[in-house]
Amino acid sequence: MELDAKIPAGPLEEKWDRHRFDLKLVNPANKRKFEIIVVGTGLAGGAASASLAEMGYNVKTFCIQDSPRRAHSIAAQGGINAAKNYPNDGDSIRRLFYDTIKGGDFRAREGNVHRLAQVSNLIIDHCVAQGIPFAREYGGLLANRSFGGAQVSRTFYARGQTGQQLLLGAYSSLMRQVAAGRVTMFPRREMLDLVLVGGQARGIVVRNLITGEIERHAAHAVVLATGGYANVFYLSTNGMACNVTASWRAYKKGAGFANPCFTQIHPTCIPVHGDYQSKLTLMSESLRNDGRVWVPKQGGDSRRPEEIPEDERDYYLERIYPSFGNLAPRDISSRAAKLMCDQGKGVGPTGRAVYLDFAESIQRLGKAEIEARYGNLFQMYEKIVAQDPYKTPMMIYPAAHYAMGGLWVDYNLMSTIPGLFVLGEANFSDHGANRLGASALMQGLGDGYFIIPYTIGGYLAGTRFSEVNESHPAFQEAEAEAAAQVERLLKIKGKRTVQDFHRELGHILWEYCGMGRNDAGLTKARELVAGLKGEFWENVTVPGSEKDFNQSLENAGRVADFLEFADIIIADALARRESCGCHFNEAFQTEDHEARRDDENMCHVAVWEYAGVGKAPIFNKEPLDFEFVKLATRSYK
């Protein structure tokens, strides 16, 4: 597998501008001759569809939900980063670039990350022009707040609904193009396969989730913006429909899968409260601006939090990481919370929680100010936990949140399959081993609004295309394979539900390939997953018919893919002979139990290549060269 990242030469600040100039262009009249498929309507997919259609391309857009507005981007809460430096506190494009590289534990490409920092300011201008109701200061200027991993305030926000407001902006732009006839919208479709013709991505096969019909759709290029795979852990902050299927089917057609074991663990989640819970609820990282994290100093202290005096509380983030305190990055904050609970200092019924306390900030700022900043988040917490966080500290614990890994892409956001572009969380490219808070929305909109419109044009203008339509044998073959998979699932007639298998898979991965890992546990996990996969294909029960609305069938296909995908997650974790980000292998730690990288041997992107049914995947490496940043021990103390 050839892994040419196509990073432009020259000074860091000039790479993107030079590359845009060097890319071939498609003239306006010729744009109307091209069909582009976009799968996914979150911030990346919605922005890409709207932008490409407005440029004149014919776009077919697919979403798994009943409306593009229900894409999981809507769940993002805290904000979106940009290097505007409105507070005049020392921010710059260079600083945002460096914070992102350092936050990702030096496991991301310099070129991609600097480009992201460059376009961040354009995103804010564009969203303001769309009418996004960002918070503003008294005088009318856009407000900023702090987020983990930065010592400047660069996060723009709309209370705790930033993702929802940004998605509505992208959705409005998308639907304008639908009304203009330049985007054809296909809701309630699930991508089941990618179609290659002559080695190029030329279309997809989807299942209509309402009628059960399998459909074929041809195009000149395919854009995947299908989000992340954290639901492989079963309990995660993701919406229930989030899955790995589109990316996994592309992987099995030849797309490299990069860093699959890199999953972000978010430190600020409502803890697990029952064996039959189906998902977890995120509390925005923005809460750590004014909330203080603590546990009792004495393990096993079962008193109510208000009964524990100040001198018997351990504000452990402030103690261990005084420079960043409660705004330490997500991976470090998550590991610290786990350490406290492992030491017996956890709180709540399960002992797997820590406190996030707002008493000091309420006293300092007043309840009205805290309500103005976080009111909807406090309401959400109270509805779920039945406790008033204005009076009692929130209980939080880390949870699987964001997929750091994803399909490998080059600087043009194209995968190892020509014509298959991958945007947003579905690719691996910009965050390394740990994503800084408020950077997901930045990447999604940057990819969709400001990067793919240039790079896909360069591909289309420089590629020869044969005539391909839905009757091509490659489409017939892909449809037949998809139908056979559906038929196979329905024929098993076992005794265990799909959800039961998914729950057990998630428990295995969280226990052995979560925040803490060791070789023995990973080896055991691989054996357990293989056994579970074998039982799934013999004993799962999938009621109903394929010619109908059948959510059990939908979920069965996704869990079947998760079971296969879990194996390369574990293989990747075993191959990663270091600790970085939140991926803590117990064999690689410093004297004070911090993650220890191995820059001499592990400074690379791990890329896995499909080798065929029953064969071990092929391991490839893309070396990471740091020309503009000095590799250093990552410290937030």
- The model's pLDDT over 230-256, given as tens digits with 9 standing for 90+, comes to 999 999 999 999 999 999 999 999 999
Enumerate the β-bridge partners of residue 37: 60, 222
Residue in the block written with tokens 């890319």: 23
Report residue 587's pLDDT band, with 50, 70 and 90 as the boundaries: very high
The torsion angles phi and psi of 481, rounded to 5 degrees, stand at: -65, -40
**What is the spatial distance between Cα 291 and Cα 395, in angstroms, rounded to a whole number?**
11
Report residue 275's pLDDT band, with 50, 70 and 90 as the boundaries: confident
- Which residue, among 261, 333, 117, 329, has the nearest Cα to 602 in the 3D structure? 261
Report residue 386's pLDDT band, with 50, 70 and 90 as the boundaries: very high
List b or e across 237-274, with b for residues whose CB sees 16 or more CB atoms inside 10 angstroms: bbbebbbbbbbbbbbbbbbbbbbbbbbbbbbbbbbeee
Summarize pLDDT for 41-79 with one digit per residue, the tens: 999 999 999 999 999 999 999 999 999 999 999 999 999
Summarize pLDDT for 608-620 with one digit per residue, the tens: 999 999 999 999 9
- The pLDDT of 352-364, averaged and rounded, is 97
Does 605 have pLDDT greater than 90? yes
Summarize pLDDT for 12-48 with one digit per residue, the tens: 999 999 999 999 999 999 999 999 999 999 999 999 9
**What is the spatial distance between Cα 163 and Cα 75, in angstroms, rounded to a whole number?**
6
For residue 588, CA distances in Å to 550, 570, 593, 598 come to 46, 17, 9, 9
DSSP per-residue codes, 552-594: HHHHHHHHHHHHHHHHHHHHHHHH--S-BTTBEETTSB-TTS-
pLDDT at 299: 95
pLDDT at 273: 86
pLDDT at 271: 96
- Residue tagged active-site, from 216, 330, 517, 597: 330
**What is the spatial distance between Cα 403 and Cα 426, in angstroms, rounded to a whole number?**
8
DSSP per-residue codes, 42-69: SHHHHHHHHHHHHHT-EEEEE-SSSSGG
Give me the helices (H) in 244-357, please. Answer: 245-251, 316-320, 330-342
**What is the spatial distance between Cα 223 and Cα 247, in angstroms, rounded to a whole number?**
11
Summarize pLDDT for 106-141 with one digit per residue, the tens: 999 999 999 999 999 999 999 999 999 999 999 999
Report residue 592's pLDDT band, with 50, 70 and 90 as the boundaries: confident
pLDDT at 131: 97
pTM over 0.95: yes
pLDDT at 221: 98
The torsion angles phi and psi of 11, rounded to 5 degrees, stand at: -60, 145
**Distant-in-sequence, close-in-space partners of 157: CB < 8 Å, separation ≥ 6:** 78, 79, 80, 134, 135, 143, 145, 286, 438
Across all residues in the chain, what is the average pLDDT?
96
Q: Are strands 618-623 and 189-197 parallel, antiparallel or unpaired?
A: unpaired
**Contact between residue 584 and residue 513 where contact means Cβ atoms under 8 Å apart:** no
- Which residue, among 268, 594, 606, 600, has the nearest Cα to 432 in the 3D structure? 606
pLDDT at 535: 98
Summarize pLDDT for 146-177 with one digit per residue, the tens: 999 999 999 999 989 999 999 999 999 999 99
pLDDT at 324: 94
Enumerate the β-bridge partners of residue 186: 62
Residue percentage of the chain with pLDDT more than 90: 97
Report residue 634's pLDDT band, with 50, 70 and 90 as the boundaries: confident
pLDDT at 274: 80
Number of other residues whose CB lies within 10 A of the CB of residue 545: 11
Range 512-516 contact pairs with CB under 8 angstroms and sequence separation of 24 or more: 512/570, 513/261, 513/569, 513/570, 513/573, 514/233, 514/265, 514/400, 515/265, 515/334, 515/335, 515/338, 515/398, 515/582, 515/584, 516/338, 516/584, 516/586
**Contact between residue 449 and residue 55 where contact means Cβ atoms under 8 Å apart:** no
**What is the spatial distance between Cα 35 and Cα 49, in angstroms, rounded to a whole number?**
11
What is the torsional sign of CA 631, 405, 163, 292?
negative
**What is the spatial distance between Cα 319 and Cα 47, in angstroms, rounded to a whole number?**
42
Any idea what DSSP says for residue 446?
I
- Which residue, among 576, 470, 486, 578, has the nearest Cα to 60 in the 3D structure? 470
- The pLDDT of 489-497, averaged and rounded, is 97
Summarize pLDDT for 91-100 with one digit per residue, the tens: 999 999 999 9
- Which residue, among 213, 207, 278, 217, has the nearest Cα to 242 in the 3D structure? 278
Q: Are strands 183-186 and 618-623 parallel, antiparallel or unpaired?
A: unpaired
pLDDT at 421: 99
Sort residue 347 into left (φ over 0), alpha (ψ -120 to 50) or beta.
beta
Report residue 277's pLDDT band, with 50, 70 and 90 as the boundaries: confident
pLDDT at 180: 98
Q: Are strands 257-258 and 604-609 parallel, antiparallel or unpaired?
A: antiparallel
pLDDT at 79: 96
Q: Are strands 604-609 and 618-623 parallel, antiparallel or unpaired?
A: antiparallel
pLDDT at 328: 94
pLDDT at 593: 85
**What is the spatial distance between Cα 281 and Cα 387, in angstroms, rounded to a whole number?**
15
Summarize pLDDT for 522-547 with one digit per residue, the tens: 999 999 999 999 999 999 999 999 99
* Residue 211 C-alpha from the chain's centroid: 30
**Contact between residue 39 and residue 164 where contact means Cβ atoms under 8 Å apart:** no
pLDDT at 388: 97
**What is the spatial distance between Cα 531 and Cα 343, in angstroms, rounded to a whole number?**
33
Active site residue 303: no
pLDDT at 500: 97
pLDDT at 370: 95
